[in-house]
Chain A
């Protein structure tokens, strides 16, 4: 371990952390509005990554050579399809349990996670698949830091998507409806808000963000595997909890923090320890600051 590596590790951590933040957004938005940890989120991330492979190969067959345009199409189409899948999941696995004890949808979310992961495994034969090279390989060098253009692009896209989602929730009419439902679902319905539809939309947006994260992951690392949703999903969950679950900017803060911390860990520990480090962070957060970095306990007046 040498301190000279530190700046490079921070950069690596921020790049991967922005991806975690993107996936964490789905956990945090769904939790914020219906108080459910949607564990299917990790599987949606993986489904999105695999859809990206399919879309890129369809585009290549169609003769589209512009890599940046290809990336945009892949993100948009994979997000739309995965968002639609999230709608189906919401309809089948959660909506029928709306009045059930909270443990019931938690269990179905885990079941959905394993179901989707197994489908991917069966369909792909558990073979890792490769992403095409989107941008030039030659990395930029700045003092001790080298940064691949792809990595920079990924971090930028991820952060832009998160800021866009934050503005959507804060500024738009639908975003206000989401925040109203998060506070009091019955009162929101009295305002004329179709709460069932807004809740479904929240699931769809979470799924779409996870898929975008999956495609960006594939483009950055070149390979996607049938079990990437397990680690990705759980790291993103940790990021959501660390940032303050239910808090949209918290997803970004949590993602970047987890990314940088796990990146530091690789400096002193062998790579296999990465998961242990991430879950160590989760345990420490839950023990000492369960509301997360940006989360706060809001006392409501009766």
Chain B
């Protein structure tokens, strides 16, 4: 049985259908990526899975339990968390407060211990715990956003375009951390525009077009697929953007 099982998910914004019957699965400890162009429905899929949007139709099972339409705070308590697009750290709050809020679902004692672990992953945040999150650079904010999500000790971590707008060096570090997280046994569902990088760290992938899954398979198979090479990897040159 999969940790996350999504059947025929449909998400609408008013009359616009953003996600049109998407089915996907993530096993415990697995790293899965969702690829697709802008407007393919990737962000809407993640928002619905995190409980920020109510699906118009379909079914979501987490750890075998039906969680379709559960609000975000209930899913967070079950171990489902999302690092949203554009980081969305709490700018006027300190880095420490951001991390503590990440551990909102845990006990204070738990939070203290997890904080040590998270600072071990992102040591550059440690000396700046009491400065405001809004003063961090984009890359540091992304690290804080990932750290904040880890504070809840999730079982499923979803990331929406974590490398968006970041310098190549920082992007490299983010992908390293994501693969370390996946290796530690946390299931990862990664939405990325950096298709090459994403397929390098994920075991499997889904390709979304106009709100539907048009292709799925192992990362190796997707990297070799003509359609993927042409549409997402730049004319089959085998290198990322």
What residues of chain A have their CB less than 8 Å away from a CB belonging to chain B? 173, 176-177, 179-180, 183-184, 186-195, 298, 300-302
Contacts and interface: CB of A to CB of B under 8 A. Distances in A.
B73 A194 contact: yes
A177 B73 contact: no
9 contacts: A179-B97, A183-B93, A184-B88, A186-B72, A190-B84, A191-B101, A193-B73, A194-B71, A300-B134
A118 to B, nearest CB: 36
Q: Which one of B52, B88, B101 has the highest number of Cβ atoms from chain A below 10 Å of its Cβ?
A: B101
A192 B71 CA distance: 9
Contacts of A183: 90-93
Interface in B57-110: 71-73, 76-77, 81-82, 84, 86, 88-93, 97, 100-102, 104-105
B51 to A, nearest CB: 7
Contacts of B84: 186-187, 190
A190 B92 contact: no
A173 B141 CA distance: 22
A191 B76 contact: yes
B21 interface: no
Interface of B: 50-52, 71-73, 76-77, 81-82, 84, 86, 88-93, 97, 100-102, 104-105, 134, 138, 141, 148-149, 152
A173 B88 contact: no
- Sorted nearest first, the 6 A-B pairs with minimum C-beta distance are A192-B76, A192-B105, A189-B72, A187-B88, A191-B104, A183-B90
A176 B50 contact: no
B237 to A, nearest CB: 31
A301 B89 CA distance: 10
Contacts of B86: 302
A179 B73 contact: no
Contacts of B134: 298, 300-301
Nearest to B149: A190
Contact of A301 (B82, B93, B141, B148): B141
Contacts of B71: 189, 194
Of the listed residues A190, A191, A195, A300, the one surrounded by the most CB atoms of chain B closer than 10 A to its CB is A190
A54 B105 CA distance: 42
A301 B152 CA distance: 25
B52 to A, nearest CB: 5
Nearest to B102: A191
Given A189-B73, A300-B134, A301-B138, A184 B90 contact: yes
Scoring B88, B89, B104 by chain A CB atoms within 10 A of each residue's CB, the highest score goes to B104
Contacts of B82: 190
B152 A192 contact: yes
A192 B52 contact: no
Given A192-B76, A301-B138, A177 B93 contact: no
A212 B149 CA distance: 40
A188 B196 CA distance: 32
Nearest to B97: A176
Contact of B88 (A177, A186, A298): A186
A190 B97 contact: no
A162 B71 CA distance: 33
A195 B88 contact: no
Contacts of A300: 91, 134
A188 B105 CA distance: 12
Contacts of B73: 189, 191-195
A18 to B, nearest CB: 27
A105 B128 CA distance: 40
B34 to A, nearest CB: 18
Nearest to A194: B73
Nearest to B78: A192
